Amino acid sequence: MEKETIKRIADNRKAYHEFFIEETFEAGIVLVGTEVKALRAGKCNMRDAFASIDGGELWLKQMHISPYEQGNIFNHDPMRPRKLLMHKREIDKLLAEVKQQGLTLIPTSIYFKGSKVKVAIGLARGKKLYDKRATEAERDSRREMERRLKDNDK
């Protein structure tokens, strides 16, 4: 069996700064042709994107996919809501988590898996300011240790 190749298009680094990602799920996404071509060119911004459940369906909102340059009249609206494809029981599980625990659905990355476009959706809890500071201090100390280890090896 041939292993499917995964090619990253974009990551939502802001999501990891603003939220604790507790669990991630993979979802398909409904796109029009020019959106797929724009994604192949890497024209995607996920910074303010979020997912919501409306009428039992999962929707990705505020994700910007730039119009395809050669798309002329067939181009898409860059900020349109896009339907995410998941099994009904997975959507019901996400809805229960969001309602009971007050979590948020945040897209963490978008990538090609084979020829299909997939979105990683994270079940996220917001960080407080002191959590962000602690994460930043931990990252800075890790960088400093790596820098000193690198200097000692020379």
Residue 70 domain-assigned (yes or no): yes
Q: Let me know the angle formed at the C-alpha of 66 by 60 and 68, rounded to the nearest 5 degrees.
A: 120
Q: Is the dihedral of CA 10, 13, 18, 22 positive or negative?
A: positive
Residue 148 domain-assigned (yes or no): no
- pLDDT 10s digits, 83-114: 999 999 999 999 998 888 888 899 999 999 98
Helix (H, G, I), strand (E, B) or coil at 66: coil
For the domain that residue 99 is a member of, what is the CATH number?
2.40.280.10
Count: domains in the chain:
1
- pLDDT 10s digits, 34-64: 888 889 888 889 988 999 999 889 999 999 9
pTM of the model: 0.78
Phi, psi angles (nearest 5°) of residue 12: -100, 85
Measured CA to CA in angstroms, residue 43 lies from 35, 36, 65, 117, 147 at distances of: 9, 10, 6, 14, 34
Average pLDDT, the chain: 88
- Structural domain span for residue 102: 6-128
| Residue 73 DSSP code | G
- pLDDT-above-90 percentage for the chain: 36
